Amino acid sequence: MDIRDLWAEALAGVLARPVRSALTTLGTVLGITTLVITLGVAATAGNQIVGRFDELTATAITVEVPAGPGGPLVGWDSPAEVRRLRGVTSVSALAQTEESSNLRVTANDLVDPTRVTGQTLAVVAGDPELPRAARGRMVEGRFFDAGHVRRGDRVVVLGDQAARMLGVTRLTGAPAVFIEDRAYTVIGVLGGLGREQVLSTAVIVPPTTGVGLGLRNVTRVLVNTSLGAADLIARQAPVALSPNHHDELQVISPPTPKRARDGVQDDVNGLFPILGLVSLVVGAVGIANVTLVTVMERVSEIGLRRSLGAARRHIAAQFLLESTLIGMTGGVIGAGAGLVSVVAVSAAQRWTPVLDARLALAAPVAGALVGLLAGLYPALRAARMEPADALR
């Protein structure tokens, strides 16, 4: 039997009773629609939540270092220990105290009564890794390096806001700023900060230079991790920074996005997939039922086909294909209705609909599978009929 003939016979069989076929697809339509809505809305809602935990915050860890009673808990060389951890992309240590947060900084020592040249700015000590760890970039000039730190040079890097407030726009001619009436050379302007925004209004000095301004001890460590490593690093970093006092350090790490998403999906996924599966089973039973009735109605047709030379497998194949077609039609309609519903729900919630394209393709296949399974028994009944009995 030519496969095109089989196809044509099955199609004609389905279309011979269009209303019945349409009603038979309903169960599958409902089931597939429910499943597509469930999965689609879950994916959409899940991605809305996850959207808030963007890569920036999901990989940023801050370790706050309290002032220890017997000396510093974290030394300026401790970040190197954290940098060795797998999954860490950059680390930097900062020092900032109450006193250093409100220091008078001026761009020159002229007293100009018409202009306010002095600003109260925060002075922060940081190591040369700071631009990377704060995810900033040098707008002007350069950041200080290990050499500056070793020599204790009186150099500063200004945050971009601080530079604007002080009127430092370019670095030609090596401008200086005065912190508490002592001059420091400005060698760079740091801007575009991805985190630790407070630095944009700060004056950053090397740690060795900061000692003179009361910035002796590390008060904060910025750690950046690769995506997904934040959880692990948040546990490991305190130990690496201060093996003896790790429990005194305060770690601020991002919430785990996975848990947030799971929470949403649990709510949506609890009941609806079960409903969808139940409707699918009901749909399958419906198809099986109607196909069985159809087989009984078409006994003489089966007899005729057998007398025209149809083998049992031809009869079985035709009825299987008919029920599969009905199931697949239900799957296609259900997928369409489900997609439209997901988009409608998203529009109502002002969400961006997120749908797996594979879901749209899998739905008709699932429908066809339901139809195929539902058609097994009726097709077997049809194939088993004795042609002599069928023609009576």
Binding site for other proteins (CB under 8 A): 1-2, 4-5, 9, 12, 15-17, 300-301, 303-312, 314, 386-388, 391-392
- Of 156, 145, 151, give the one whose Cα is nearest residue 122: 156
Q: Which lies closer to other proteins via its Cβ, residue 5 or residue 64?
A: 5
Q: Which lies closer to other proteins via its Cβ, residue 6 or residue 168?
A: 6
Q: Which lies closer to other proteins via its Cβ, residue 171 or residue 304?
A: 304
Q: How far is the CB of 310 from other proteins (least distance, A)?
A: 5
Tokens of 27: 């169960």
Tell me the Ramachandran region of residue 170: left when phi exceeds 0, alpha when psi lies from -120 to 50, beta otherwise: beta
Q: Which lies closer to other proteins via its Cβ, residue 325 or residue 359?
A: 325
Q: How far is the CB of 388 from other proteins (least distance, A)?
A: 4
Query: Is 130 within 8 Å of 221 (Cβ atoms)?
Result: no
Q: How far is the CB of 390 from other proteins (least distance, A)?
A: 9
Q: How far is the CB of 331 from other proteins (least distance, A)?
A: 25
Q: How far is the CB of 345 from other proteins (least distance, A)?
A: 41
Q: How far is the CB of 328 from other proteins (least distance, A)?
A: 21
Q: How far is the CB of 306 from other proteins (least distance, A)?
A: 7
For tokens 């961006």, name the residue: 352
Q: Which lies closer to other proteins via its Cβ, residue 8 or residue 271?
A: 8
Q: Widest CA span of the chain, in angstroms? A: 119
Q: How far is the CB of 304 from other proteins (least distance, A)?
A: 4
Q: How far is the CB of 25 from other proteins (least distance, A)?
A: 19
DSSP strand pairing (88-95 vs 118-126): antiparallel
Q: How far is the CB of 27 from other proteins (least distance, A)?
A: 24
Q: Which lies closer to other proteins via its Cβ, residue 20 or residue 142?
A: 20
What's the 3-state SS for the chain?
Answer: CCHHHHHHHHHHHHHHCHHHHHHHHHHHHHHHHHHHHHHHHHHHHHHHHHHHCCHHHHCEEEEECCCCCCCCCCCCCCHHHHHCCCCEEEEEEEECCCHHHHEEEECCCCCCCCCCCEEEEEEEEECCCHHHHCCCEEEEECCCCHHHHHHCCCEEEEEHHHHHHHCCCCCCCCCEEEECCEEEEEEEEEECCCCCHHHHHEEEECHHHHHHHCCCCCCEEEEEECCCCHHHHHHHHHHHHCCCCHHHCEEECCCCHHHHHHHHHHHHHHHHHHHHHHHHHHHHHHHHHHHHHHHHHCHHHHHHHHHCCCCHHHHHHHHHHHHHHHHHHHHHHHHHHHHHHHHHHHHHHCCCCCCCHHHHHHHHHHHHHHHHHHHHHHHHHHHHCCHHHHCC
Q: Which lies closer to other proteins via its Cβ, residue 311 or residue 340?
A: 311
Q: Which lies closer to other proteins via its Cβ, residue 311 or residue 344?
A: 311
Q: Which lies closer to other proteins via its Cβ, residue 8 or residue 365?
A: 8
